[in-house]
């Protein structure tokens, strides 16, 4: 998968640079003074303060320490940021093979006999999850052993079907 690059927010870079300049000037230092105490080049201080480049975490930490500030204090400036406010109520569940079969069982999928191949294809079609044949077969056998599914032998392969409970 290709690495996705974020588009730089130049306005945010500029606002951050202004904050660094404000804190530097508050202690009465030049860019060279800040460079000496932070061990960040004066060129780098200049391009950060002018908003031409973004500072990485190590640079932010070094500048903050030199100015006697926490890194978070360098980021304490006004700038409008659009925050995400549309979180899904529940994260998408990640099911293993047994979880997928349990879900199919609870939804009545096994009312008609199904092969391992049927189960694998259906789960892939519905969820995009590729089940492994050996794992699927093993999970179905566990359901059969627990008397939830019956095994029907047809044309040299096993089919799995729900065991209908007798009405009380």
CATH numbers and ranges of domains, the chain: 10-74 (1.10.260.40), 97-162 (1.10.10.10)
Convert the pLDDT of each residue in 40-63 to its tens digit. 999 999 999 999 999 999 999 999
Q: Which of 106, 86, 90, 88 lies closest to 98, judged by CA? A: 106
Convert the pLDDT of each residue in 86-95 to its tens digit. 877 766 667 8
Q: So what's the pLDDT on residue 1? A: 47
How far is CA 52 from each of CA 14, 40, 64, 65, 75, rounded to the nearest angstrom?
7, 16, 19, 22, 17
Total-model pTM: 0.52
**Can you read off the two tokens belonging to residue 114?**
């199904």
Q: Which of 109, 113, 164, 119 lies closest to 139, judged by CA? A: 119
């Amino acid at each position: 998968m290709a690495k996705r690059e974020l588009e730089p927010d130049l306005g945010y870079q500029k606002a951050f640079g202004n904050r660094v300049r404000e804190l530097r000037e508050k202690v009465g230092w030049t860019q060279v003074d800040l460079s000496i105490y932070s061990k960040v080049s004066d060129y780098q201080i200049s391009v950060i303060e002018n908003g031409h480049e973004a500072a990485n975490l190590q640079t932010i930490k070094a500048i903050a320490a030199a100015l006697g500030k926490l890194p978070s204090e360098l980021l304490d400036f006004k700038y409008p940021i659009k925050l995400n406010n549309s979180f899904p109520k529940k994260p998408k569940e990640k099911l293993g093979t047994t979880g997928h079969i349990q879900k199919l069982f609870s939804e009545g999928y096994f009312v008609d006999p199904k092969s391992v191949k049927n189960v694998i294809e259906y789960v892939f079609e519905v969820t995009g999850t590729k089940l492994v044949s050996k794992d699927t077969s093993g999970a179905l056998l566990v359901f059969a052993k627990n008397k939830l599914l019956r095994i029907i032998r047809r044309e040299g392969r096993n089919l799995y079907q729900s065991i209908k409970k007798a009405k009380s």
